[in-house]
Amino acid sequence: MLKKGVLLLDDKFEEIVVVILCCLLVLSLTYTVVVRYGFHTPLLSTISNWAEELATFSFVWLLYFGAILATKNGQHFSITVQFKLLPKKFQRFAFIPGYLGWMLFNLVIIKLGIELVNFSAEESMALQIPMKFVYFIIPLSFALITLRLIQHSYRVLRANPNEENDDA
């Protein structure tokens, strides 16, 4: 049961978060539009300010989770046409130097993101929440991108070299 839950989480985590963030974004923006053009009262306008800020934070988190999802599915941006010049048996290993550089970059961003979270003292304007909760997406997403990059690399390296593989 636990293994099944972990496998489901590994398989669907990003999709679930993306759907929740999209719903939050759409509902927040819908509320602000309705209040702005339909029911303009001081109380609803205050809540509208909260909704706008929530939509902004949802959008930022959505972008980062989209990057994680793209990495997980091997749909991240990469140029691979030069790999076709290599002998067939080496083509599936050609992505390794680029991925190692990417992982090194991710580690630097994780470190800087943790510093940003630790030293952030300001609060958001409308919701009055500590901005460190918003900034936490930076180290979290780059850590998850690194994890998904390792998983994707493993799948590509484990694949049968005789199969046509456009994942890398």
Q: What is the tens place of the pLDDT at every residue in 84-95?
A: 788 877 877 888
Going from the C-alpha of 72 to that of each of 22, 51, 138, 148, 159, the distances in angstroms are 19, 30, 17, 5, 16
List the pLDDT tens digit at each of the 168 positions of the chain: 778 888 888 889 999 999 999 999 999 999 999 988 888 788 888 889 999 999 999 999 999 999 999 999 888 777 777 777 888 778 778 888 889 999 999 999 999 999 999 999 999 999 999 999 999 999 999 999 999 999 988 988 887 666 555 555
Rounded to two decimals, what is the model's pTM? 0.85
| Number of alpha carbons in the 13 Å side-chain half-sphere of residue 31 | 18
What is the spatial distance between Cα 64 and Cα 141, in angstroms, rounded to a whole number?
A: 6
Element (H, E) at 71: helix 42-72
What is the spatial distance between Cα 139 and Cα 116, in angstroms, rounded to a whole number?
A: 9
The pLDDT, as a whole number, for residue 118 is 97
The pLDDT, as a whole number, for residue 165 is 52
